[in-house]
Amino acid sequence: MPKFHITHLTSYLYQEPINDSANQIMLYPLEDEYQEVIEHQLKITDNPLIETYQDYYDNKVGSFTNPGVHSALVIDSQLVVITQQKPLPEDFTPQKQQWENLQQLRYQLPYINFLLPQQFKSLPEVLQVVKQEQSIQTPLQLAKALSNYIYQNFEYKAGVTTVETTLDEIWTLKSGVCQDFAHLLSVMLRLANIPARYVSGYICPNKNGMRGEGATHAWVEAYIPFYGWLGLDPTNDVLVEDKHVRLAVGRNFSDCSPVKGTYKGNSRHYLEVKVTVGYEDDQH
């Protein structure tokens, strides 16, 4: 079980002093039998009071305000987390039975929320790819095939997209970063009637470098019949094991954004996000 020491530093520098900032943070890792938070410290400019609550998807969310005049906002999150690998699905159940199980879940909570379709101009082309990959495959096989399709056909390239980049733009550019690939994979899985949720967090390899290091990361969890939620990282074309630390889950990036907020003042500002990971041993 690896233990990770994670520092996540978010810095906003404003061109002119601003005031009345209201902010939301989703920097509290999920906790279950496969992920345990040993220590968590949050330091924020001017030490505001942070109110927390559980959202609809059971993520812990913090909110705080700073009504005074300020020229910078720094959020320093420091974590110690232990992860454990979840057993992978065996995929022995007959294919027909698995797809029938997914069909029964279409109108049940919480799965209905992760099956809602998204309309965009390139939908027919994306649907054609899904149908080509779907022939004679189990849901698990299809999920892995779609993740591999994105990995093979899209270039990992920072700076060409933003969190506001649309699916049509991603499909046309054939390039982007982790949030773009997670967005696209979730849509493709839903078109195949596989519930899919967006995951934000961190990727923590040590000796073996992976795409997405040094910043927050995003991937997808697909619901596999008779197994549960399985993480797939299309940016690296891997199944999620014990090198990913989950912060939040939702339908899309908007549900899981680590930091967002509003303020009064000049809109020009500079944002820097830096994530560093320390390791307890040399095994990861």
Full pLDDT tens readout for the chain, 284 residues: 889 999 999 999 998 898 889 999 999 999 999 999 999 999 999 999 999 999 999 999 999 999 989 899 999 999 999 999 999 999 999 999 999 999 999 889 899 999 998 889 999 999 999 998 887 789 999 999 999 999 999 999 988 888 888 999 999 999 999 999 999 999 999 999 999 999 999 988 765 666 756 668 999 999 999 999 999 999 999 999 899 999 999 999 999 999 999 899 887 888 889 999 888 754 44
Asked if residue 106 and residue 75 are part of one domain, the reply reads: no
The helix or strand, by DSSP H or E, that contains position 61, with its residue range, turns out to be strand 60-66
Tokens at 68, concatenated = 């005074």
Write out the H or E segment, with its range, that includes residue 181: helix 178-191
202, HSE (Cβ side, Cα atoms, 13 Å): 31
CA dist 22 and 204 (Å) reads 30
Predicted local confidence at residue 282, as pLDDT: 45
Q: 30 with 150, same domain?
A: no
Its domain, for residue 262, covers 3-84+257-279
The reported pLDDT for the residue numbered 185 is 97
Shared-domain flag, residues 274 and 232: no
Same domain, 211 and 123: yes
Same domain, 58 and 180: no
End-to-end CA distance of the chain: give it in Å, rounded.
10
Integer angstrom CA distances of residue 154 from 57, 263, 284: 30, 36, 27
* Residue 27 in tokens: 């920097």
How do beta strands 155-156 and 175-176 pair? parallel
Would 9 be classed as within a structural domain? Answer: yes
Asked whether residue 284 is domain-assigned, the answer is no
CB distance 284 to 205 below 8 Å? yes
Q: Taking a C-beta distance cutoff of 8 angstroms, is the pair 211, 181 a contact? A: no
Residues 247 and 268 in one domain: no
pLDDT number for residue 214: 61
Cα–Cα dist 142/101, whole Å: 15
**Total structural domains in the chain?**
2
Q: Please state, in angstroms and rounded to a whole number, the distance separating the CA atoms of residues 188 and 182.
A: 10
